[in-house]
Structure 1
Amino acid sequence: MSSFHYQISDDGITVEQLLREEWQAGKKTVHLMRMEKSVVDMKGTPIDWRTPLKAGTTIQFTVPDARSNYLSNEQVPLKILFEDEHIIAVWKPAGMATHPTKETENDTLMNVVFAYISKNGGQYAEHIHRLDKGTAGVLLIAKHPIAKTIFDRMIENNEITRTYEAELDGTLKRPRGTINRPIGKDRHHSARRRVSPTGQQAITHFKVLERKAQTTIVEAKLETGRTHQIRVHFAHLGHPVTGDTLYEGSETEDGNFHLTATALSFIHPFTKEQITVQ
């Protein structure tokens, strides 16, 4: 199970309204919490879900049966950039997958994160978005299922600004711009994506930070989050990410491509604070 505290900000809201309307928590999660009487005050007394609460009241939510199934990996150090009761933001190195594709894997970032969560008494950790194996940078992880539901929705609604820095092959002449090209699967190559009129809408905003002799450094902000979006969009312009050989980028010595998720910015749904992690 996983627990967190929450301070009521508006007079008159009920637990029922908070869970079902404001947070839109999953039906199974809400049902389990109701059956277990797992919403309590600071003395541990269960709270009636229909009783209006006063602003400033602090209550504790416990989500029963909230468990993740990752194997722990304590051998790799974890770089934490931000953490509270709801989320943890960590640095993902280039060359490491975000999550395992088989239950027996233990060499991905989520295995390292789960070792940290377990060591601190937690049982739940699930990534809110993902980064390609070759991409380094900031990754956001939920520490309980309600946070996972809310942040997933924020990603879908473009309420989390994701900023990247990329090194591109060649000289990109436009100083700034927006690439609005739909992206779909490449039917000739299962691992690749391509700009396709039948694909999903994909929008990338960019500005040039530096022009080098053979490459261009750009800052890119995602308005959508399609698979390989930045890599596909810049390859489509004829300037693939340096090292991204899947999309005809030039080779690098270490085999990694030069793309980093440098920052995440959002209004925290539980504290209402503006959070920037970089």
Structure 2
Amino acid sequence: MKLLLFADLHLDTRFPSAGPVRRKALRDTLGRIVDLAEETGVDAVLCAGDLYEHERCSPSTAAFLRSSFDCSVPVFLAPGNDDWYGPESVYQQVDWTPNVHVFSSRTMTPVDLADGLTLWGAAHVGPGPARDVLDGFAVTRGGVNLALCHGSAPGDVAITGLDHAFLGHVHTPEHAVDYTFPGNPDPLTPGETGERGAVLCTVHDDGSVSREVFDVSASRSLDWLDSEKAFPLLDFDSVAAERTVRGQFVRDVLADTGLDEAMRGRVLATGLRALEER
């Protein structure tokens, strides 16, 4: 069984500069993921949440998602805390094609991927911080059991009876024996570096998983991540003069003598973007 995993794409996220171009690149990244799924002949595509940002998701993005997932491959979506499932969510409003399955319950529910192979999934069903979806969950089926969810603690996987969990929320990729955080496939901030992308996961008969990472970032291929257009230099002194939370943040970072200039710039850019809540 071959599964293509990604998470935390954050379509329609806000950028401090060149927003339309960067958001277009995120859409292109999703297109590359779907193309890769069809080219490699995977059995399903898995998204572990934060596919888009609920508060800023546009009708055109909803239409784009429906069109993108209208493909030859089954698609399983587990809504996260930024794209939570609810009456006003894209997940509930879009008339998805039959190949798309959206997990809609806050508790883990099973789907049969193949004989003796179960995929459990759950959704965040309201705004708020990411919760540990696996907390208190225990497998009730035999065979190989996999999970798809957003925001769970890796330490919980071993006690659930799951063979492997595909997890979202953490933007830094992490591949362990019994879980996979793919990281976000297209970096959103300067600090999100290193190998990341869509992860081709091969599930073996004993429940073990082998992985191969594919770089699908449209932003990276356009060299946006290394340009001032992607992450422009800010006038930090002007921001520091503000009587605001972000002004205090900048003052504190500028006063920290333990940071070299390169690290100081990364901390400032990443922190300011976090304060803007993307």
**Structure 1 or 2: more strand by fraction:** 1
**Is the shorter-chain TM-score for this pair beyond 0.5, marking a shared fold?**
no
Higher-RCO chain (CA-CA 8 Å, sequence separation at least 6): 2
- Which protein is bigger by CA-based radius of gyration? 1
Shorter-chain TM-score: what band?
Answer: under 0.3
